[in-house]
Amino acid sequence: MSRTDHIMATNREELYHLVDRLPDAELPTARRFLEFLSQESVGPTFAASIRRGIAQADAGETVVCGNYEEMVEKVLGKE
């Protein structure tokens, strides 16, 4: 197994563990998000927003959105 294959396998395993820890009520949202990621290329702006969201979640911060447009604005940093 190459180093790249090993890194990808480790990352996939980590994702499987994260999914296993999700509350059942969050599974549909996680599925929609993963389906979206599998269909869209992730550009630098979106990648930065993902990293920002992970950092906020790790810090215990939450973002409350009233609708899709507000979510896009907050996620992409266009507040």
Q: For the whole model, what pTM was predicted?
A: 0.43
Measuring CA to CA, how many Å separate 61 from each of 2, 34, 44, 52, 54?
A: 37, 22, 23, 11, 10
pLDDT category at 3 given cuts 50, 70, 90 is low
What's the CA gap between 19 and 29, in Å, rounded?
11
pLDDT tens digits for 18-55? Answer: 899 999 999 988 888 888 877 767 788 878 877 887 88
Give CA–CA dist 56/58, Å, rounded: 5
Contact by Cβ (8 Å): 77, 49 = yes
